[in-house]
Chains A and B, each alone.
Chain A
């Protein structure tokens, strides 16, 4: 079975500066993979490249074995790839429920499929049930991260990319988030998880494999 997601020798420049250099990375189906690196090492760029948000100078981006390097960014969610950016990036004027539903509406999923996914997300993240009618702009940082995870799961039937979800979380919330990820793996074992973090110890119990990135290059972990 091909990898859910993979980068093969990918280089990316931002404003003329090489930010990723020949990065190769593999996320097996249903696998849990960590990408570890310091600030500015290229973690976020790696995820944005997987989402098609940056032009690739060389190399290939693969989803389920298919070359998607040239697939426009807005088609990536249609491939079943969900993305929870750093800083949550929710739509502040929408309710939590509308934040969750927007991707399903944009992808024009049938009503029962939307319902099914929403129920699955709410089963994994029960705290979202109470938050559903609240305006996203009024959430705390930790609540926002849960909503961002839920929103990514609404489209991420094949993989979710989580950019530093533990960043800035209070210890109690970090534990709850980690617990949610464990439930996610048990409840939706087909969904691969790629998660970035600067502290390698934090993710060790949660993932099966780890890639380390430094100055835009994958180094031995």
Chain B
């Protein structure tokens, strides 16, 4: 054990740090997916496209701002602005033009429609940004690296991944919990999640809640994508990879759970990065192994309950 640690300690430390940063991104996307599913009862496959478009938009905006002579801080601001713009534009557009027509329809139809939307958005993304990798990390490089002490070693890690990503994820988690429990709009969202018809009979306009929730969920997906953009080159296919991981997170957490989404994103993020460093051949299946293991023990998910659903 000690010998193993001496040999692999650095690798393990790197895997943990990487996993934490990755979990933060996965959480942002998955919690949006979970919120949207809880309220609209539609499993939105195109949620991954919103992540990808958020990432590309952030990179393009950052590149444009840098070309315009603004400092690297502008690239960081661009991440949040891009996410807000993508959510505010595509959210209402998709909800109003497409989803509104399929509420209450059969699940198969809903899945096919959102899958079709996913395919369309993938092609739109290729039309706009092409298939060559897009990369812009001025903001990440500007924040520099931090030396993280780990078991006698020192691991240099980017401050962006060490502080910014987990920080934003934690803020989102706390903000969302506060919003859903303490504000009227949040409680209305919880009420619709619990029982749409009973909520309507209390005077709640479910349509408005759907629009609001979907836009908010879209912005969270776009935020996840935007924040990921400085850490890796963007290529076609990141949307698909993300949606599949988010499904796993939601399945592990239990539908409608936000704290559960945070914990299961952490499990998947760490599991995946440990696999990357120690057993790379398992990287792709790791999230599903974790998912299967959890669902074998708790079929309703870690925090899901069968009778009452909580956000």
> Which one, B182-190, B213-221, B231-239, B288-296, is touching chain A?
B182-190
Q: Which of B168-189 contact A (CB under 8 A)?
A: 184, 187-188
Tell yes or no: B143 within 8 A of A by CB.
Answer: no
A-side contacts of B200, CB under 8 Å: 51, 53, 73-74
Query: Does B11 sit at the interface, judged by CB under 8 A?
Result: no
Chain A residues within 8 Å of B, Cβ to Cβ: 48, 51, 53, 72-78, 83, 85, 89-94, 98, 102-103, 105-107, 137, 151, 155
- Contact indicator B204/A74 (Cβ below 8 Å): yes
Residues of A within 8 A of B204 (CB): 74, 106
CB-based contact B203/A91 at 8 Å: no
Hey, what's the 0/1 contact readout for B185-197 against A, CB within 8 Å counting as 1?
0011011001101
The CA-CA distance from A98 to B308 in the complex, in Å, is 16
Contacts of A75 in B (CB 8 A): 203
B: contact size bracket: 20 to 34
A106 with B202: CB separation less than 8 A: yes
Tell me, rounded to whole Å, the shortest Cβ–Cβ distance linking B129 to chain A.
41
A-B CB contact pairs (8 Å), 14 listed: A72-B205, A75-B203, A77-B201, A85-B197, A89-B195, A91-B191, A92-B307, A93-B308, A103-B202, A105-B184, A106-B188, A106-B202, A151-B202, A155-B202
Cα A53 to Cα B200 with chains together (Å): 8
| Whole-angstrom CA separation of A83 from B197 in the bound complex | 11
**Is A78 a contact partner of B195 (Cβ separation < 8 A)?**
no
- B188, B194, B205, B309: most-surrounded residue (chain A CB, <10 A): B194
Contact of A91 with B195 in the complex, beta carbons under 8 Å: yes
Interface residues in B222-269 by Cβ distance below 8 A to A read: none
Tell whether B154 is near chain A: CB-to-CB under 8 Å.
Answer: no
Residues of B within 8 Å of A93, CB to CB, are: 190, 194, 308, 310-311
Chain A contacts for B187, CB-based, 8 A: 94, 98, 102, 105
- A74 and B308 in contact, given A91-B194, A106-B188 (Cβ under 8 angstroms): no
Let me know if A89 and B310 touch, CB within 8 A: no
B181 and chain A: residue at smallest CB distance: A93
Question: In the assembly, what is the distance between CA of A102 and CA of B199, in Å?
Answer: 9
Closest to B209 in A: A74
Q: How far is the CB of B94 from chain A (nearest CB, A)?
A: 23
Q: Are A106 and B203 in contact (CB under 8 A)?
A: yes
Residues of A within 8 Å of B203, CB to CB, are 74-78, 103, 106-107, 155
The minimal Cβ–Cβ distance linking A174 to chain B, given in whole angstroms, is 23
A63 and B21 CA atoms in complex are apart in Å by 57
Q: Tell me the complex Cα distance, A76–B202, Å.
A: 9
With the chains together, A137 CA to B308 CA distance in Å? 7
User: When the two chains form their complex, are residues B198 and A89 in contact, meaning their CB atoms are under 8 A apart?
Assistant: yes
Q: Is the CB of B197 within 8 A of A74?
A: no
Does A102 lie within 8 Å of B310, measured CB to CB? no
A137 to B311, CA, bound (A): 14
Query: Which of A75, A76, A93 is most buried by chain B, counting CB atoms within 10 A of its CB?
Result: A93
Give chain A residues whose Cβ lies under 8 Å from the Cβ of B311.
Answer: 93
The one of B191, B198, B310 that contacts A85, using a Cβ cutoff of 8 Å: B198
A76 to B184 Cα, complex, angstroms? 20
Shortest 9 CB-CB contacts between residues of A and residues of B: A92-B308, A77-B203, A89-B198, A103-B202, A93-B310, A83-B201, A106-B203, A74-B205, A137-B308
Interface residue B206 (Cβ < 8 Å from any Cβ of A) = yes
Can you add 18 more A-B contacts, CB < 8 Å, to A89-B198, A93-B311?
A51-B200, A51-B201, A74-B200, A75-B203, A77-B202, A85-B198, A89-B197, A90-B198, A91-B190, A92-B308, A93-B194, A102-B188, A102-B191, A102-B202, A106-B202, A106-B203, A151-B202, A155-B203
Which residues from chain B contact A155 at a C-beta distance below 8 Å?
Answer: 202-203
Query: CB-nearest residue of chain B relative to A161?
Result: B201
Evaluate contact between A91 and B201: CB separation under 8 angstroms: no
In the assembled complex, the Cα of A51 lies from the Cα of B194 at a distance in Å of: 19
Q: How far is the CA of A98 from the CA of B181 in the complex (A)?
A: 11
Complex formed: what's the CA distance from A103 to B191 in Å?
Answer: 11
A129 to B290, CA, bound (A): 46
Nearest CB in chain A: distance from B23 CB, A: 26
Which of B187, B195, B202, B309 has the largest number of chain A CB atoms within 10 A?
Answer: B202
